Every structure is written in structure tokens, then in C-alpha cells.
Amino acid sequence: MKRAAVLALVLFACAYGVQQEHYRTGAEARAFGAGQRGLLPAFVPDTATNIHMVNDTRSGGVWVWCDLDTRAQSELRAAVQKVGWGQAAANTTKPPFTLASPEWNPILGGRLMSTPPAGPLYFVSGAWHGVADAGGRCWITLTVGTKHA
């Protein structure tokens, strides 16, 4: 039943060019094929929780946000390249959120109102750019126009 509900939401959203998916864990998202479809980067740990993904099928943009416990934060840090906030922000696009979503991190295509803090982890991995804060919230985006990988 749950699988059918997720599929129905995906099919409905496809008609408008924006797909949204939500999973309890990274492992569950991968079990439903999110990794194979290029919507969930390999560096997101299976233990990540509250996984949300938005895919703009017209532009190719992908936006992901999730929560990481201490262990998952360590796994993420080991799997990505730490960079400055400017490099993390490079070539990012504001997400096309239309449904309920958390506040998107302004570094990744949002509207910066001041210089970003030094505390969060700013990172890249291939065409993926991301920010993970000390509280465990992680935002990730795929550069628009690049291949999902």
C-alpha cells in the first residue's frame, strides 16, 4: 500500500515536471530505486533519515534534504570533499518547491542575506554540492544540466 502511494505521488508530479519523494531512511530510498535513478547520491548513508527528494525533470535539477545522526554525519564527511561555502554554492539553482518543504539552505541556490557561518560542512562530490549543519540537517543539490549519477 505504501509503495503504491509513493508511486502515485511520483506519477502525479511527473505530469508537472517536478517529482517529489520522501523516505524514512537512505536504505529505504535505495530499495525503491532512488539511487539507481540518480536521485540519491551514493554518499548519503543508509542510516540517514527523513529523506526528501525533488527532481525537476525539465531542467534535470535534483534537490535532497535529510537528517543525519552522529554516525551518519561521520560517514558523510568521509565520503565527500570538504570545500569553502563559495565552492559549495557554485552553479547551484534555487529549488522549484511547490509542496510542503523545509526552509532550503540559501547557500545552495537560495538568497544569501549575509556571509554564511564557518561551522557547517560545505562539500562537493562530483556534480553534487551540499551543506550539513552541526544539528544533523543536510541539504544536497545536483548542478542543473548535469547527468544524474
32 belongs to a structural domain: yes
Count how many domains the chain has: 1
In the chain, % helix, strand, coil (3-state, to 5) comes to: 25, 25, 50
72 belongs to a structural domain: yes
147 belongs to a structural domain: no
pLDDT, residue 109, reads 78
Give the global pTM.
0.82
Domain span at residue 22 reads 2-142
Task: Give per-residue pLDDT as tens, 69-106.
Answer: 999 999 999 999 999 998 998 888 888 765 445 678 88
Task: Give per-residue pLDDT as tens, 64-73.
Answer: 999 999 999 9
Which residue shows C-alpha cell 530499495? 31
pLDDT band of 4, cuts 50, 70, 90: very low
117 neighbors 108 (Cβ within 8 angstroms): no
